[in-house]
Amino acid sequence: MRKACRQAGILALIAAILWTGGSALFPAAAWAASETELYTPYTAVDAAPGESVSYNVELINNSDETVTSNLGFQNANAQWTHELTAGGRVVKQLAVKPGSSQSLSLRLDVPLEVERGEYQFTLTAGEARLPLRVSVAEKGTFTSKLEVEQSNMEGHSDSTFTFSAILTNQTAEEQTYALTASADPGWDIRFNSGGSSVTSVTVEPNTNQTLSVEVLPPDQVKAGTYQIPIMAANNATKAETTLEAVITGAYGIGLTTADERLNADIKAGGTRSLQLTVTNTGTAKLEDISLTAQTPSDWEVTFEPKTIRSLEPGKQESVQAVIKSSEQSLPGDYALSLSAQSAQKTADAAIRVAVKSSSLWGWIGILIIAAVALGIYGLFRKYGRR
C-alpha cells in the first residue's frame, strides 16, 4: 500500500512537473527516447548509382500527449540528396497524436558518381533517431552509356540490318548527343528515334532512349564480318559501342541474250526464238528464278524452261524464248521487256523488236506486174513486126 502510494505520488509529481512546463526544469533527453519512435522496416538496403531509395517511415508517439517533432536528416555525404515528404508535401515538422503514428516518406538519391561501400545516414524527429544504411554495390560512373542488345547480325548484301541501341544518360544534366558512325566507305548508317531519322538526340539525366540503327551495306560488298563503331557524343560526355554485320553473300542476277544483241527482227504473225542467258552475278545461290515478259497486245512469249530451280553463284543458264508477234502488228519497232525474277533480285532485258510486214503481197504485186507485162508482150507478138 505504501508502495502504491509512492508510485501514485511520483506519477502526480511527474504530472505536476509536466503541467507546469517541466521541460524547463529537467533535461528532456532522458525522457524523449521512449516518448516518440521512428520506424521503418528496411533499414539497410542495396542501391545502384543513380538510383533513388524510398523509405516509408512512421513516427510513433508513445506518450499520452500530442508530440510535435522537428524532422532532421544527418547526411555525411554531400552528393547524396534526400527529401522528406508526407501527404504529398515536403515536411519539416510532424505532429503525432498520443498513441498513434504518422507516416512520412524519405527519398534518398544515390549519386551517379559514387564509390562502392556502405553509407550511413540518420533520420531524426525530435529526440527519435533512425539510423539507415545504404550499400552501393558498384562504383558509379557519371557517364553516358550506349548499349546494343544484339550487336551481331547476319544477312545478305541487300538486307538492311536494324540494331536496337539504348542510350542512357547517367550524368546529372540533360545531354544532347550527336550520333555518328565510322563505317567503311559505302556503308549507309541511319539512326532512327521515334520513327524518324535523327542525327542527334536529347536525353534527360538518368533516363534512356531507344535508338534503332539501320545499316545498309554497299552494293558491291563482299562476304565477311564488318565492324561498325557507333558513337553518341558531345563535348562533355560520350558513349560508344560496336555493331557487327555479317554478310553471307550478295544476290545478283543478269539477263541478256546469248549474243548480247538486244534487237530482233520478226515477221508480222511470225515467231522468232531468242537464246537468253540468265547469270547469277552474286555470291549467293538463287532459287526459283521465273521468267516473264511484258509484250505488246496479242503477242506471246514462251520460255523454255519457264523457271530455273536454282542457280549457283557465277553460273549461267540458257533459256529459249520464243516470241510470237500478232498478225495485226504494224511494221516498225515494238518494245518488248523480258525479265528474270527471283525472290531477291530481278533483271530486265528490254528488246527492240523490228516487225517486218509479210512480203507476200510484194510478190503478188510483182506477179501482177509480170502478168501485165506478159500481156503486153503478147500484144507485141501478135500485132507488132508486120
What residues line the site for other proteins (CB under 8 A)?
A: 295-299, 326, 328-336, 352, 354, 356-357, 359, 361-362, 365-366, 368-369, 372-373, 375-376, 379-380, 383-386
CB of 329 to other proteins, least distance (A): 6
Give the sign of the dihedral formed by CA 135, CA 137, CA 143, CA 144: negative
Query: Which amino acid, 97?
Result: K
Between residues 19 and 361, which has the closer beta carbon with respect to other proteins? Answer: 361
Give the Cα separation of 244 and 225 in Å (integer): 7
| Stated length of the chain | 386
Residue 164 Cβ vs other proteins, minimum distance, rounded to whole Å: 48
Of 222 and 261, nearer to other proteins (C-beta) is 261
Of residues 194 and 365, the one with the C-beta less far from other proteins: 365
Q: How far is the CB of 315 from other proteins (least distance, A)?
A: 32
Q: Min. distance of Cβ 274 from other proteins in angstroms?
A: 16
Q: Which is nearer to other proteins, 10 or 379 (CB)?
A: 379
User: Which residue, 287 or 333, is less far from other proteins as judged by CB?
Assistant: 333
DSSP-based three-state secondary structure for 122: strand
**Element of type H or E holding 118:** strand 117-125
* Alpha carbons 39 and 331: distance in angstroms, whole number: 102
CA-to-CA distance for 124 and 129, rounded, in angstroms?
4
Output the smallest distance, CB 215 to other proteins, in A: 41
Question: Shortest distance, CB of residue 302 to other proteins, whole angstroms?
Answer: 17
The helix (run of H) or strand (run of E) holding residue 364 is helix 360-383
Q: Of 28 and 373, which CB lies nearer to other proteins in the complex structure?
A: 373
Q: Using CA atoms, how far apart are residues 122 and 35, in angstroms rounded to an integer?
A: 18
Nearest-approach distance from CB 365 to other proteins, in angstroms: 3
CA 178, CA 375: separation in Å to the nearest integer? 96
> Which of these, 277, 248, 258, 257, lies nearest to 344 by C-alpha position?
248
In terms of CB distance, is 333 or 348 closer to other proteins? 333
Min CB(333)–other proteins separation in Å: 4
CA distances from 186 to 67, 219, 357 (A): 75, 8, 51
- Answer yes or no: are the C-beta atoms of 235 and 209 closer than 8 Å: no
With the C-alpha atoms ordered 255, 259, 265, 266, is the resulting torsion angle positive or negative? Answer: negative
- Specify whether the CB–CB gap between 259 and 295 falls below 8 A: no
99 versus 332: smaller Cβ distance to other proteins: 332
- In this structure, the dihedral spanned by the alpha carbons of residues 288, 294, 295 and 301, taken in order and rounded to 10 degrees, is 0
